[in-house]
Amino acid sequence: MVRAAVLPAVGAPLEITGIDLPEPGPGQVRVRLAAAGVCHSDLSLSDGTMRVPVPAVLGHEGAGTVVSVGEGVTGVAPGDGVVLNWAPSCGRCHACGLGEVWLCANALAGSADVYARTAAGVDLHPGLNVAAFAEETVVSASCVLPVPDGIPLTDAALLGCAVLTGYGAVHNAARVLPGETVAVLGVGGVGLATLQAARIAGASTIVAVDVSPEKEELARAAGATHYVVASENTAREIRALTGRQGVDVAVECVGRAVTIRTGWESTRRGGRTTVVGIGGKDQQVTFNALELFHWGRTLAGCVYGNSDPAKDLPVLAEHVRAGRLDLSALVTERIALEGIPAAFENMLAGKGGRALVVF
């Protein structure tokens, strides 16, 4: 028996309870979690904005130590530190053939599997493949990557989602160039990683935007040169900070129609808006044909930072070792499993950066 945070049904409160976890089968790995980040995507899964089979154990950003491996596993061994990769690429679908592994058609196929059972014998699914909100988990070997040298396990958990997403949004999706100006809308865990990534990219002006005035210190520590408290005048304020032109790049980390539209309006003519936030189907963003022609802007989605984790993790690790990327600065609260519901409430209220479950 291991303790886990179980989502019994969509919209229901999480239950902290013991679950029966089997030993790994062929091609599987059992991992003892060191830490797991509480991401907004977990909240979106719990309230039904994103759909997964339930009952499920959520949590997709984590790192830990390999306990045991199943038949045929050669890439890792017991005692190895690993980062969980919640979206492994299959290598066979059309997107993988194009090299766009972040769009793999089969990445989330494992979420439909039964991977464990409650003490009462109820089947459980692994939310987003890896079920990191538990003391231990069993995952496909394709869902683990070695922790880079010199990265503590608790910090490494953040590499599994927030940092890959934020860094990738800047370097892979928006392709920010040295000297360009950037606005980041939403200063949660991903937003803080995005701010650090913009600084690493050499952006000249970095404007952080959030509804909470209390996040200014966090944002400036991450690399923001300016801070704007979100309002109906946000786009105008950002243009005023950039010679009335607007920023070259806006990265939206919230997933709401109003912030996507604000990001768009905050960019210069010919600017680029990258949408990282995951919104619901009811969040409708509208544009008219004339403005699309006149402004010549680009609006693009971004999945998992458009990253290939196997290739990008070593790059991130080098930034960490060189002191350019501070993983611990993303964490504003360290909690136990029991603290996840409160972390969800804080996200809804726009408070804090990344809450980290430390086992």
Write the burial class of residue 239 (CB in 10 Å: 0-12 exposed, 13-18 middle, 19+ buried).
Answer: middle
Average the pLDDT over 72-92 and give the result.
96
Average the pLDDT over 85-92 and give the result.
96
The answer for residues whose C-beta is within 8 angstroms of residue 236's C-beta and 6 or more apart is none
Domain ranges (residues) in the chain = 2-160+326-358, 163-303
Report the C-alpha gap between 63 and 161 in whole angstroms. 11
Which pairing describes strands 267-275 and 298-301: parallel, antiparallel, or unpaired? parallel
Which pairing describes strands 2-7 and 81-84: parallel, antiparallel, or unpaired? unpaired
Q: Whole-model pTM?
A: 0.96
Please identify which residue in the block is written with the tokens 């299959």.
90
Q: Which pLDDT value is given to residue 51?
A: 86
Considering the domain 2-160+326-358, what is its CATH architecture? Alpha-Beta Complex (3.90)
Q: Which pLDDT value is given to residue 348?
A: 87
Which pairing describes strands 144-146 and 81-84: parallel, antiparallel, or unpaired? antiparallel
In this predicted structure, the answer to whether residue 350 has a pLDDT above a threshold of 90 is no
In this predicted structure, the answer to whether residue 342 has a pLDDT above a threshold of 90 is yes
Q: Which pLDDT value is given to residue 162?
A: 95
In this predicted structure, the answer to whether residue 136 has a pLDDT above a threshold of 90 is yes
In this predicted structure, the answer to whether residue 312 has a pLDDT above a threshold of 90 is yes
Q: Which pLDDT value is given to residue 280?
A: 87
The rounded mean pLDDT for the chain is: 96
Q: Which pLDDT value is given to residue 351?
A: 85
Which pairing describes strands 205-210 and 226-229: parallel, antiparallel, or unpaired? parallel
163-303: CATH class = alpha beta
Report the C-alpha gap between 342 and 345 in whole angstroms. 5
Average the pLDDT over 41-64 and give the result.
92
Question: Inter-axis angle of helices 340-348 and 40-47, to 10 degrees?
Answer: 100
| pLDDT digit string, tens, across residues 193-220 | 999 999 999 999 999 999 999 999 999 9
| pLDDT digit string, tens, across residues 34-49 | 999 999 889 889 988 8
Neighbour tally for 227: CB within 10 Å: 18
| pLDDT digit string, tens, across residues 221-249 | 999 999 999 999 999 999 999 999 999 99
**Three-state secondary structure of 225-290:** CEEEECCCCHHHHHHHCCCCCCEEEEEECCCCHHHHHHHHHHEEEEEEEEECCCCCCCCCCCCCHH
pLDDT: which is higher, 348 or 302: 302
Q: Which pLDDT value is given to residue 57?
A: 97
Of the pLDDT bands very low, low, confident and very high (cuts 50, 70, 90), residue 126 is: very high
Average the pLDDT over 258-287 and give the result.
96
Q: Are 328 and 159 in contact (CB under 8 A)?
A: no
| pLDDT digit string, tens, across residues 147-204 | 999 999 999 999 999 999 999 999 999 999 999 999 999 999 999 999 999 999 999 9
Q: Which pLDDT value is given to residue 197?
A: 98
Report the C-alpha gap between 13 and 340 in whole angstroms. 10
